[in-house]
Amino acid sequence: GENVGLHLPTLSVQEGDNSIINCAYSNSASDYFIWYKQESGKGPQFIIDIRSNMDKRQGQRVTVLLNKTVKHLSLQIAATQPGDSAVYFCAENTGRRALTFGSGTRLQVQP
Amino acid sequence: EPEVTQTPSHQVTQMGQEVILRCVPISNHLYFYWYRQILGQKVEFLVSFYNNEISEKSEIFDDQFSVERPDGSNFTLKIRSTKLEDSAMYFCAITDRSGEQYFGPGTRLTVT
């Protein structure tokens, strides 16, 4: 896949456990943040987003937390499943429409 | 979720040749984007397109690249004279009314 060879940090969890994937961003002017999931050979898949006027947003089995003070974003996945195995990218929008992607975290779910 | 298709899924070309990558958003959208992902690297922004003109572009998007929406439906990325380092996955993306960006499945470009 596209991320073969990329020296990604890897998070390995057992099926059914909760996963927390972290991301640090650098631009304090960013006001919109998104988490994407990328499976091998596929394009980034939108998971959840959050705007800078919020610090938490929940979706189905996923929660995004935003800490603007330390410029930190996290994605929590509840009851992780084997189908959650993928590379996860955070992305930020600096007020322009273009997204700036982070370097990604590989999530491996052990059955 | 809006659907975006891209053709071809894989393009092999020789260095110096021109390639055209196509994106077909299923619904009408305002903003279109091209991103690329070199093997083993993160996704990088190339260009955004709004109201039939380039809205913004990155430093990667040099004179070798161009975009257009020739028939009001397809959105194309042209690389005029490909280089080895252009080998990558190229993703088209669109935004819906909420501003969320959705990506197509990508075109793998291999320059030999």
Give the model confidence (pLDDT) of B17-37 as tens digits: 999 999 987 666 778 999 999
Q: Give the pLDDT confidence of B33-76 residue by residue, as tens digits.
A: 999 999 888 899 999 988 888 999 999 999 999 999 877 778 99
Nearest to B105 among A3, A42, A89 (CB): A42
DSSP B64-111: TEEEE-TTSS-EEEEESS--GGG-EEEEEEEE-TT--EEE---EEEEE
Q: Are strands B10-13 and B107-111 parallel, antiparallel or unpaired?
A: parallel
Place of tokens 């021109």: B18
Question: Which of B37, B56, B92 to probe by mutation at the A interface, max A CB count within 10 Å?
Answer: B37
Nearest to A44 among B39, B43, B45 (CB): B43
Closest CA to A49 of B59, B12, B37, B98: B98
Check pLDDT > 50 for residue A4: no
CB contact under 8 A, B42 and A4: no
Q: What is the percent of chain A with per-residue pLDDT over 90, rounded to a whole number?
A: 75
Chain B residue numbers with beta carbons less than 8 Å from the beta carbon of A99 are: 33, 35, 43, 45, 101
Q: Residue A51: CB partners within 8 Å, gap ≥ 6?
A: A31, A32, A33
The whole-angstrom separation of Cα B72 and Cα B74 is 6
